[in-house]
Amino acid sequence: MSKGKVTVLGSNGHIGNTVMWAFRDAGWDVTGLGRVNRKPVPNTRFVKGDADDIAVVKAAIAEADVVVNALHLPYDKWGNSAAEAQLQVVLNALEESGKTLMFPGTIYNYRASDRRLTPDLRQSGEKARGRIRENLERMIRAGAEAGHYKAIILRAGDFFGPGQRGEWFEQAMLMDASKGKIYHLGDLDKRHSWAYLPDLGRVFVALAEQRHALGRFENFHFAGHWVSHGEIMAATEAALGRELKVTPFPWWGIRLVGLVNPIMRDLHEMRYIWSNEMELVDERLDALLGPSFATPYEVAVKATVNELMGAKQAAAA
């Protein structure tokens, strides 16, 4: 018997595809919406359509108890109110449905000087990208408090996991692993917040299944893996089974390319997230999940690195 019905908007992305699998594995009736079914999940339903079309979104979520908004614009397309416009379509589609909207939050909403990021900490994004994310969450909160729907923000650190592409492990840390070199994105003794995607997917499910006991608007922070860059490097070497040259990531190159490439410019602007310790803390969510919820980071890193390097070797063969 199904535990409920969920529609995932943006079923091909990091979050979208992850939660598709997690809800399916937990016994939910799962529907995904996307322009193409690039990452099909067996035993789920797929709706082909444009999430900018309110009629398409309304039809896709019509029978859903829970809606996960995993839509994500390309990194250089957030400005000029594009992100707000994309979200507004979803909020308009929800109307006064009483459904539960789930939305992935980011650390961008906080400042470089913020060290302990609790759900009640004031948000004050110091970069344009952070201010956009603040706007999105304000929009969601306003609709929830007006009684149109319930909303759950789930904030997490940087994503990683097997089968993922276009994230930091692939494009930065392991880009020269075949040459015997790996890169750390911040000082080796500085800690960073990571979210292993299979774990994060299970958090979405856990909160969805507790939704009736939650308020109209909720903001949760998933601690994930709070480990140093040095620990991640050591776990990566252990996964590969050999010592490698561990060297700082060449941020200067990102800055240089950013003079002509807006995506690289924006990435460099957010470097402070890697240079400073910004820990996600939420005792309430920790209690709900239990002490042994997260996959040990050494296991998570090994699964991620082995899949990625295996895929690279297969592609080169």
What CATH number does residue 214 fall under? 3.40.50.720
Instruction: Look at the chain and report how many structural domains it folds into.
Output: 2
Let me know if residue 64 belongs to a domain. yes
What is the pLDDT, as a whole number, of residue 317? 66
Domain of residue 170, residue span: 163-192+227-277+295-316
- Examine the domain organization and report whether 122 and 205 are in the same domain: yes
Of the residues 205, 221, 237, which one is the last residue of a structural domain? 221
What is the pLDDT, as a whole number, of residue 257? 85
What is the pLDDT, as a whole number, of residue 154? 98
- Examine the domain organization and report whether 147 and 167 are in the same domain: no
What is the pLDDT, as a whole number, of residue 13? 92
Encode pLDDT of 193-229 as tens digits.
Answer: 999 999 999 999 999 999 999 999 999 999 999 999 9
- Examine the domain organization and report whether 99 and 173 are in the same domain: no
What is the pLDDT, as a whole number, of residue 74? 81
Encode pLDDT of 244-299 as tens digits.
Answer: 999 999 999 889 988 888 888 888 888 999 999 999 999 999 999 998 999 999 99
Quick one: pLDDT band at residue 2, thresholds 50, 70, 90? confident
Answer whether residue 98 shows pLDDT above 80: yes
Let me know if residue 289 belongs to a domain. no
pTM of the model: 0.96
Where residue 126 falls (left for φ over 0; alpha for ψ -120 to 50; beta otherwise) is: alpha
Let me know if residue 285 belongs to a domain. no
